Structure 1
Amino acid sequence: MKFYRDWVRPTAISFDLDDTLYDNVPIMIAAETALIDWLALKCEAFQGMTMHQWMKQRQGYAALHPEVAHDVTALRLSSLQHAFEQQGYSAQDAASLAVQGLNVFLQTRNDFQVPPDNVALLQRLAQHYPIIAITNGNARPDNIGLAGIFDHVLSPKAGEFRMKPYCDLFRHAEQQTGHYGSAWLHVGDHIVSDVVGAINAGWQAAWFNESQLNIPFNKYSEHSVRLPHLEYTHFSDLVDSLT
């Protein structure tokens, strides 16, 4: 473990989910593939569409509809409906198909289990701290082996809570729990979404850096990268330091 800032033992801990507690890349590839295969079955115009093309189309829709850009589930649903409407489907049929497509994606997206060792470490922490999840994504803890672990699972909601690194979800966590500011330690893999978000909210931050990368100060021009309080590569080391 590496320490970059003075830190105090927290009274509450929050966790990012994707790529912090499990490798999310193959999960998302499988889910996007399942959705694209389903789209090809439903509409001839979507046959041959690549994952890159579909992601580019969704990103373009998000740029034109900032009201849903922070909520990945709402964005996926509305962009699916828009895609079907663009192919001549009625609003009603497009909405129905969009729900079906979203369910196809979510079923595969949540068809995995968090590694048992990580579940056991979370359970160990939960004996000492209230722990919550703060995620920008739409993984469902109850479906992936984390039922009963978190006191709260917070994620962006269109028109209400923006994604990390915005402070919305951190402030919501404070209101939900009664723990404030540096009483929190937020744990996550992303140097901006998790570390910058937590630091800007006045929280402490633990950076999961499994690949032992250098802190990418020059990579994110839209956000000033901040030093975490600590960095770790093995979850067990973090838990040992907190219990």
Structure 2
Amino acid sequence: MRREEARRAVFFDVDDTLYDHLIPFRKAVEQAAGGQRALGDFPFAAAYLRLRYHSDMLSLELGGAGAMEAGAATDYMRMRRFQLTLAEFGIPLTDAQAEAMQAAYIGCQYDIAMFDGARELLEELARAGWVVGLITNGAPRHQRSKIEAMRLDELIPRERQLISGSLGWDKPDARVFRHANELTGTLPENSVYVGDSWRNDVVGALEAGWRVVWFNHRRAERESAHEPTFEASSYAELRELLMR
């Protein structure tokens, strides 16, 4: 496709960027622990960030998202991430307990509500002439189920819904972002990525030459000297940045 310098692209991460990924995590932990009262003042937000970290690291050990669709190794990784995460907060889990937590997590992961203003912003960006797309890490069927739960096919053509497990590259690999540019005929300097993960989204997109809006709604700490182009904590702030 011919590249057009004036053509603007904006791609979004999915998990914890378009919808609140903490909700299914919290439900799973509470369900497996016997309810919220049993956990007291457990720091769900901090634990969720550690679960994301362990998921990324274990996935890399197994060969990335392209190897993460199914199988014994994947089942072990998904169970083990809960053990590693909860252990950091003083809650050791047996294999059976971690498997029950993972089963509860999967059971509610597709009960998804987008962040307030997210759908409206995607629609407004498309009307304004932006090339709108998704770039998400994960196994194809798993991520596709989330995309369908949010009815994103109504807003974004499937060819612009890029899932790492189908591509063979995981964020932060710059090839993911270069592929998005080649696919849409856009240039890195005219492309914006919106995502919550410092390592995968901020670092990955910046090193591919894109501008980045760090969707830091969890007030996470920066992990390197990289400098996101903008930072936002809500879709109201995102709209002000992208539609001005």
Scaled by the length of structure 1, the TM-score of the pair is: 0.63
Give the C-alpha shift of residue 236 in structure 1: 1.6
Q: Percent identity at matched positions?
A: 26
Give the C-alpha shift of residue 64 in structure 1: 9.4
Give the C-alpha shift of residue 111 in structure 1: 2.0
* Residue pair 1:187, 1:205 contacting (<8 A) in 2 also: yes
1:156 aligns with 2:164: yes
Root-mean-square deviation (CA, aligned residues, Å) is 3.9
Given the alignment, which residue of 20, 23, 26 partners 1:23?
20
Q: Which residue of 1 aligns with 2:117?
A: 117
Q: What runs of 5+ residues in structure 1 fail to find an aligned partner?
A: 1-8, 37-54, 84-101
Q: CA 1:144–1:107 in 2, change beyond 3 Å: closer, same or farther?
A: farther
Given the alignment, which residue of 66, 74, 79 partners 1:71?
66
Which protein has the bigger helix share? 2
Separation of aligned partners in 2, 1:77 and 1:150: 33
Residue identity opposite 1:74 in structure 2: E
Given the alignment, which residue of 173, 185, 199 partners 1:166?
173
* Residue pair 1:72, 1:136 contacting (<8 A) in 2 also: no
Q: CA 1:225–1:66 in 2, change beyond 3 Å: closer, same or farther?
A: farther
Separation of aligned partners in 1, 2:68 and 2:227: 31
Per-residue CA deviation, residues 27-71 of structure 1 (Å, 9 max, x unaligned), is: 24556899x9xxxxxxxxxxxxxxxxxx9xx97x9579643x333
Separation of aligned partners in 1, 2:242 and 2:120: 15
Bigger radius of gyration: 1
Q: What runs of 5+ residues in structure 2 fail to find an aligned partner?
A: 1-5, 33-50, 79-101
Separation of aligned partners in 2, 1:103 and 1:212: 28
Separation of aligned partners in 1, 2:192 and 2:77: 40
Separation of aligned partners in 1, 2:25 and 2:176: 23
Q: Larger deviation: 200-209 or 131-140?
A: 131-140
* Residue pair 1:15, 1:134 contacting (<8 A) in 2 also: yes
Q: CA 1:72–1:208 in 2, change beyond 3 Å: closer, same or farther?
A: farther
1:195 aligns with 2:190: no
Q: Which residue of 2 aligns with 1:238?
A: 238
* Residue pair 2:216, 2:232 contacting (<8 A) in 1 also: yes
| Pairs within 5 Å for 1:219-234 | 219=223, 224-234=224-234
Give the C-alpha shift of residue 116 in structure 1: 5.0
Scaled by the length of structure 2, the TM-score of the pair is: 0.62
Residue identity opposite 1:208 in structure 2: F
